[in-house]
Chains A and B, each alone.
Chain A
């Protein structure tokens, strides 16, 4: 791989063709190819432009509320009786998740490119809300594609998007989840190439999206690395994050990749168990294939047809994963483990009671892995977890499962 001049670094990817090893690339229709090349050119200019970086940092501070705190979860640490647990509090960001980091960056780019219409896909609705938010902030019309199933199970976020002035288009194709929403967004883009900017919410899709989204999200890991050094005088032993498409995970992982003593753990949605069809563990239970513009691990059958997958969490309900995660898995720099629906649900309830924080169901998966690992680790060891979103949006889902009337 020609991706890095420094062969000892895990942070040099992708190469100029957008490859992380065999993963990534630009598998798109010819109609979109000139747009993607244009986006890449403008992104390359923007990322080295001090004015762009200044505007990004300014909005980060005053609009998003960065830096997000690093929080020592003292009661949870005592409860589990092992490693010290720290949370990177991305759920305290404006709009309630890490998604806003990427949306602010991309809308600045859209503005720079002279685009006048924003489209986005969303699963849980967090990225849809963040997209609608930045579209409102910059006065651009926004269309959000959302699977019909997700529209139903994430009603509060649908209402938020509408309040923010976005048009939410339910997608009934397939199972009506994130994958189908992404297909529909791509169809919109291929039809409205002149004025439309496609604001992809995760670190996947055709190059340069995986790199660009990662770079916008890497602020999480850069801050966390400084904060943990300030708090503990050393780096964590393990960094853990939930992985659907994988943007919050790659955001916190990336700045730690060259810290060889830091173990990196991505948590996939194990759903109702890996032996059946109802999970979304692309790396643990899938195989490499090509979908949505990139080669990566996918849930698919023997004929190369993509499966639908299942997760209690709409944000993890995607049968693929960002290509950089696939590469990190294959080279052994990161490990990926599944967490079942019920384990995530238990973690959700535990954190709410012990720390007074209602987490989203997505980071509840990461939390369930923390709950498994912390008791087996020494009290002088440190776990850093990305608490990527707040759980207000999930209370209806959780209430339904727990049999509570809301």
Chain B
């Protein structure tokens, strides 16, 4: 698998703190602003970047990410441009792992082989494709693993003990534990329950386990980071971007600055997480 991802998690483990994994929608609200946001993320303390690929029908996403996808598509974003965004980012950052996240159809239409070739060349380290469960591994997961791109799987509260090994089987990079049944952007469940679920998954895999869905503040990040190897923040960042836009949906000076401030705050949360655990 790509060295970048494994190295990043190994370094963080040595440092003794969880990763801050930040999601944003590629092309929201326009290419240039979105690239500026991407470049700002690691500088503000993000350890892994999830780069959202917009889709017209995001069935597992709440209103925040749905609207971000619509803004992005309206701004002319395509899968080719999302890959270009990663390429542009890599010109100045060779170390931060990039995970593409989205739905299968745009990849299927782009062509799986062509997509994997272009993704590797653009410096992509992993894929999260929401509507490809293990039963559909032949579509993209196996070809991606053969080419050396991580395929990161979502485990959910409905993934019971019987199913967990199947979910983990072809997973690489890290496991993304979705903290609740539902769509992105919902409320955060009890961190103590999440801690139990993370331990349950870690009994079955040596991979890092990152937790997402519902993390909005530094305090959340700190609480979740106490037990998880990484904390994923998505809707909160996307909402921050949305709140900075003009009535017409255009970026303002506050767009990148707002994301920077939020991520800096979240980063302080993950950096104090293990202290919280030790208390």
Listed in ascending order, the chain A residues whose CB lies under 8 Å from chain B are 17, 25-35, 173-174, 179, 183, 186-187, 190-194, 289-293, 295, 298, 300, 302-306
Q: Does the CB pair B105–A306 fall under 8 Å?
A: yes
Residue B153 interfacial (CB < 8 Å): yes
Known contacts A30-B154, A191-B183; is-contact A289 B108 (Cβ 8 Å):
yes
For this complex, 7 residue pairs linking A to B, each with C-beta atoms less than 8 Å apart, are A29-B130, A31-B181, A33-B135, A186-B60, A193-B158, A289-B105, A303-B79
User: Given the complex of chains A and B, what is the CA–CA distance between A300 and B56 in angstroms?
Assistant: 10
Contact of B156 among A31, A293, A303 (CB under 8 A): A31
User: Given the complex of chains A and B, what is the CA–CA distance between A192 and B58 in angstroms?
Assistant: 18
Q: Does the CB pair B59–A183 fall under 8 Å?
A: yes
A191 to chain B: which residues have CB within 8 Å? 181-183, 186
Residue B66 interfacial (CB < 8 Å): yes
Nearest residue (CB) in A for B79 is: A303
User: Given the complex of chains A and B, what is the CA–CA distance between A190 and B130 in angstroms?
Assistant: 12
Contact of B183 among A17, A187, A290 (CB under 8 A): A187
Q: Does the CB pair B133–A33 fall under 8 Å?
A: yes
B8 CB, min distance to chain A CBs, angstroms: 24
Known contacts A30-B159, A193-B181, A304-B79; is-contact A292 B109 (Cβ 8 Å):
no
User: Given the complex of chains A and B, what is the CA–CA distance between A292 and B58 in angstroms?
Assistant: 10
Known contacts A34-B158, A34-B159, A179-B57; is-contact A190 B182 (Cβ 8 Å):
yes
Q: Does the CB pair B181–A304 fall under 8 Å?
A: no
Nearest residue (CB) in A for B180 is: A191
A291 to chain B: which residues have CB within 8 Å? 57, 105
User: Given the complex of chains A and B, what is the CA–CA distance between A304 and B77 in angstroms?
Assistant: 12
User: Given the complex of chains A and B, what is the CA–CA distance between A34 and B133 in angstroms?
Assistant: 10
Q: Does the CB pair B105–A28 fall under 8 Å?
A: no
Listed in ascending order, the chain B residues whose CB lies under 8 Å from chain A are 54-62, 66, 73, 78-80, 103-110, 130-136, 153-160, 163, 167, 178, 181-183, 186
From A27, A30, A174, A194, name the one whose CB has the most chain B CB atoms within 10 angstroms. A30
User: Given the complex of chains A and B, what is the CA–CA distance between A291 and B108 in angstroms?
Assistant: 11
Known contacts A183-B57, A187-B183, A290-B104; is-contact A27 B109 (Cβ 8 Å):
no
Q: Does the CB pair A292–B59 fall under 8 Å?
A: yes
From B105, B130, B159, name the one whose CB has the most chain A CB atoms within 10 angstroms. B105
Q: Does the CB pair A303–B109 fall under 8 Å?
A: yes
Q: Does the CB pair A29–B136 fall under 8 Å?
A: no
A25 to chain B: which residues have CB within 8 Å? 135-136
Nearest residue (CB) in B for A302 is: B109
B212 CB, min distance to chain A CBs, angstroms: 13
Contact of A304 among B109, B130, B186 (CB under 8 A): B109
Known contacts A290-B131, A305-B55; is-contact A187 B60 (Cβ 8 Å):
yes
Q: Does the CB pair B133–A304 fall under 8 Å?
A: no
B156 to chain A: which residues have CB within 8 Å? 29-31
B73 to chain A: which residues have CB within 8 Å? 305
B230 CB, min distance to chain A CBs, angstroms: 18
Q: Does the CB pair A17–B135 fall under 8 Å?
A: yes
B135 to chain A: which residues have CB within 8 Å? 17, 25-26, 33
B131 to chain A: which residues have CB within 8 Å? 27-29, 290, 293
Q: Does the CB pair B183–A190 fall under 8 Å?
A: yes
User: Given the complex of chains A and B, what is the CA–CA distance between A190 and B62 in angstroms?
Assistant: 11
A370 CB, min distance to chain B CBs, angstroms: 34
